[in-house]
Chain A
Amino acid sequence: MTAPREPRARAVWPLVRVLLSTQYAYMLEYRAEIALWALSGVLPLIMLGVWSGSGAGEAAGFTPAMLTRYFLAAFVVRQFTVVWVIHVFEEDNLQGRLSPYLLQPLHPFWRYLAAHVAEQVTRVPFVAALLALLFLLQPSLLWWPQRADVFWGVLATVAAFILRFLLQGVIAMACFWSERALALERLLLIPYLFLSGLVAPLETFPPGVRAFALATPFPYTVAFPARVLMGAEVNLGAGFLGLALWSGLFLILFLVLWRAGIRRYSAMGA
C-alpha cells in the first residue's frame, strides 16, 4: 500500500474546518471528562507547595514570587501540551480501525492532531476556572504577564505541544512492530517528568545534570515556555531553535518509521 496522497491545496481549508469542527463537537460531548483531565494536571501546583516550603529555591536565586510564577506558568504549559496520540493510535491499530483510515486520502495523524487541538480548545474554560479559583483562594498569587511575554509564551507552548506530539508519534510507530509500545511511552514519561522542569526549575539542578537535561528535548517542552510566560530572562532564539531542531528530527524519524511500518502493516494483511 502506498502512503495516502495528500489533498490538493485548494481542498485543505474546508478539510481543516470540517476536521476541527467535528472533533470539537465530539470533545464537547466529553467535557466532564476533560474537566477531570484538567484537574489531574495539578502536579506543578503541588510542587509549588513543596518548593515554597524549602529554602532551596532561594539558594538558586528564585524568590518566592518567581517560584509561584514559574510553577503557575508550568501548570498552564502542561495543560496545553498534553498528548495522548499513542493511546488512540494503539487502539485504532489493534481494533483494525486504521485500515479504513488508510484508504482515505488523508494521513491519519492529521485526524489525531485535530482531536488534540479540539481538546485544548475545550480545556480553555476549565483551566481558566481553575486559575480563577486559585487566585480567589490566594490573591497574592495573581500577576499579569507582559503582553510580549504572553505572545511568545503562547507561541512557545504551541511549539512545545508540536514537539511532544511528534515525539510520541515516533514512539507510537512501535505499535507496528510490537504490542508493548505503551510500555515504551511509560519509560519515556520518566525523563519527561524529571528533566522537563515540571517538578523543579532547571536552575536548581546541579550543573552536570542541568547540562545533561539541556541536551535532551525535554526542557523545551515545559521549562522554556514556562520561563518565557513568567517573564524571566530567556534566549528566545536559542529556545525556538532547539524546539525547531528537535521537532524536525522527530518529524523525519516519524515519516521514515511510518513508511516502514505501513509496508509491514499491509504485508501482514492485518
Chain B
Amino acid sequence: MHRYLRTLARFWSASLAAEMEYPANFVLELLAEVGNLAGSLFVLSLLYGPGQSLGGWSWNAALVVLGFYTLLEGLTSTLFQPNLSTIVTHVQNGTLDFVLLKPIDSQFWLSVRTFSPWGLPGMAMGVGLILVAALRAGAVLGPGTVAAAAVLLLASAAILYSLWFVIAATSIWFVKVWNATEVLRSTLVAGRYPVSVYPAGLRAFFTFVLPVAFLTTVPAEAVLGRASGSWMAASVVVAAACLVISRAIWRYALRFYTSASS
C-alpha cells in the first residue's frame, strides 16, 4: 500500500511538471469551464419559469445537482479521461506489453498514471456551487451530513470511474473505442438535472441501466439532508459492484490480449 502511494506521488508530480510547460492551457481551460457553467446555469434558469419547480426540486436544490455534475466533470478531465484514453493508444500501438511487465498492478498503473491539473478549476467551481447552493437551500451542514455526502461522492466517483474503465478496457477486443467514450460522455450530460425531472422510462434507464441517478442526484440529496437510507445504501452497493465488475472485466480482457499485430 505504501509503495502504491509513493508511486502515485511520483506519477502526479511528474505529470504536473510536464503540464506546467503549457501555462496558456490554464487560461483556456478556465474560460471553457466558466463558459460551460454559465451556459448550464442559463439553461437551468430557463427551465425554472417564475415560481416553478423542476421535478419537485427548488432552484437552489437543483443547483446542488449541477454542482455535483461540475465537480465530477472536473474529475473526469483531471483523472479519468487522460488516463483511460491512453489505454486505447497502448492497445493500438502494442505498448500495453510494457505496462503488463511492470512490477505493479496494471489497472492501477493505467488508471492513475497521469494527472491533468486543468480540470481542477472545474472541480473547485463545483464544490463552491454545492456549498453556496446548499446553504441557500437552507441545508444544515452538520458533521453527519458532510460525512454522508463525502461517502456518496466517493461512491459516485467510483461508479463514474468504473464506467470509463470498462469502456476503455473493451479496447482489447474492439481496439477503436474512443467513440464509445463519447457516447458515454454525451449521455452523462443527463446528470446535470435531478433524475426526477425525466419521464418514468428515462428515469428507470438512468437509475438501473446507466446509473446517472447515483452520480449526482443521490449525493445532492445527502447534502440537502433528505437522502433516504435505502438510496444511500443502494449507492454504496452499486459503487462496490461497479468496482468489482471493472476489476473482473479487466482480468477477463487480459486473457484475450495477445499484443499488437495479432
A43 proximal to B (CB < 8 A): yes
B28 touches A49 (CB 8 A): no
Indicate whether B252 reaches chain A with its CB closer than 8 angstroms: no
For residue B24, which residues in chain A have a CB less than 8 angstroms away from its CB?
180
User: Is B95 positioned at the interface, with any CB of A under 8 Å from its CB?
Assistant: no
B32 and A54 form a contact (CB under 8 A): no
B47 near A56 with CB under 8 A, answer yes
Number of residue pairs A-B, CB distance < 8 angstroms: 85
Across the two chains, which residue of chain A brings its CB closest to B177?
A36
- Interchain CB contact under 8 A, B180 and A36: yes
Are B199 and A49 touching (Cβ within 8 A)? yes
- CB-contact partner of B32 in A53, A186, A209, under 8 A: A186
**Contacting pair A56 B202 (CB below 8 A):** no
Q: How far is the CA of A55 from the CA of B49 in the complex (A)?
A: 7
A161-169, A193-201, A232-240 - the one binding chain B: A193-201
Q: Given known contacts A54-B54, A204-B46, A209-B42, is B179 in contact with A36 (CB within 8 Å)? A: yes
A33 B28 Cβ-Cβ under 8 A: no
Query: Given A42-B186, A46-B187, A187-B31, is A52 in contact with B39 using a C-beta cutoff of 8 Å?
Result: no
Counting chain A CB atoms within 10 Å of each CB, the highest count among B176, B179, B185, B199 belongs to: B179
1/0 per position for A192-236, CB-CB distance to B under 8 A?
A: 011000011000110001000000000000000000000000000
Which listed residue, A33, A53, A194, touches B198 by the CB 8 Å rule? A53
Residue numbers in A under 8 Å from B183 (CB-CB): 36, 39-40, 42
Is A270 an interface residue, CB under 8 A from the partner?
Answer: no
A56 with B48: in contact, given A187-B31, A193-B39 (CB under 8 Å)? yes
Contact yes or no, A50 B197, CB < 8 A: yes
Is A41 among interface residues, defined by CB-CB distance under 8 A? yes
> Are A42 and B187 in contact (CB-based, < 8 A)?
yes
Number of interface residues of A (CB under 8 A): 33
Bound complex: CA A149 to CA B180 (Å): 34
Judging by beta carbons under 8 Å apart, are B182 and A190 in contact? no
Task: Enumerate chain B residues within 8 angstroms of A46, measured Cβ to Cβ.
Answer: 187, 189-190
Is the CB–CB distance between B47 and A54 below 8 Å?
A: yes
Closest CB of chain A to B198's CB: distance in Å? 5
Bound CA span A138–B183, Å? 22
**Using Cβ atoms and an 8 Å threshold, which residues of chain A touch B207?**
none
A183 at the interface (CB under 8 A from B): yes
**Contact partners of A193 in chain B: CB under 8 A:** 39
Q: How far is the CA of A50 from the CA of B194 in the complex (A)?
A: 9
Asked whether, in the complex, the Cβ of A50 is within 8 Å of the Cβ of B193, the reply is yes
- The one of A36, A49, A187 in contact with B197, judged by C-beta atoms closer than 8 angstroms, is A49
B42 x A186 contact (CB < 8 A): no
Q: How far is the CA of A209 from the CA of B25 in the complex (A)?
A: 29
B15 contacts partner chain A, Cβ-Cβ < 8 Å: no
A187, A200, A204: which contacts B35 (Cβ < 8 A)? A187
Set of chain A residues within 8 Å of B176, measured between Cβ atoms: 33
B55, CB-defined interface residue at 8 Å: yes
Residues in A whose Cβ lies below 8 Å from that of B36 = 190
B201 within 8 A of A: yes
Q: Is the CB of A190 within 8 A of B49?
A: no
A46 to B198, CA, bound (A): 9
Q: In chain B, what residue has the closest Cβ to A190?
A: B35
CB of B93 within 8 Å of the partner chain? no
Q: Which residues of the partner chain B approach A9 to less than 8 Å between Cβ atoms? A: none
* Binary flags per residue of B193-227, CB closer than 8 Å to A gives 1, else 0: 10011110110000000000000000000000000
Q: How far is the CA of A159 from the CA of B197 in the complex (A)?
A: 35
Q: List 12 A-B contacts (CB under 8 A).
A: A36-B182, A40-B183, A43-B186, A49-B197, A51-B47, A52-B199, A53-B54, A53-B199, A54-B49, A55-B52, A56-B46, A209-B42
Which 5 pairs between the two chains have the least Cβ-Cβ distance?
Answer: A36-B179, A194-B39, A190-B35, A56-B49, A53-B197
**Which residue numbers of A lie inside 8 Å of B, CB to CB?**
33, 36-37, 39-43, 46, 49-56, 59, 137-138, 180, 183, 186-187, 190-191, 193-194, 199-200, 204-205, 209
